[in-house]
Amino acid sequence: MKKSSRPSFLGMGLLIICLILILSGCFPGDNRFQERSSAGFFWGIWHGWIAPFSLIVGFFNPAVRVYEPMNTGWWYDLGFYMAIIGGFGGLSVARKGSAKKPK
């Protein structure tokens, strides 16, 4: 019998469930941040990257927000918007698509 080199659906499903459970502790608006220890630049980047997932989870859990209300202000905003605009290489994909192909 020939063994398949593709990963099993069960293994991939378990991996995805584990990642979701691990990352669910990092959603904004979960009262982790207080006035003295507010979210900064790097948390802004992280919250920008997971914003689509935060939006979906926010439909089912009203405590989860897309944007952390207890933040450091301008630095958090900068990180958040950099992640939203840049995504995971979103700008480079857009640039590749608009580049002219050589003849």
- Domain boundary assignment for the chain: 28-98
Residue 39 pairs in a beta bridge with: 71
**pLDDT tens digits, one per residue of 24-68:** 667 776 666 766 778 888 888 888 888 888 888 888 888 888 888
User: Is the separation of the CB atoms in 75 and 48 below 8 Å?
Assistant: no
d(CA 41, CA 67): 13
Tell me: the pLDDT tens digits for 65-86? 888 888 888 998 899 898 888 8
pTM of the model: 0.62
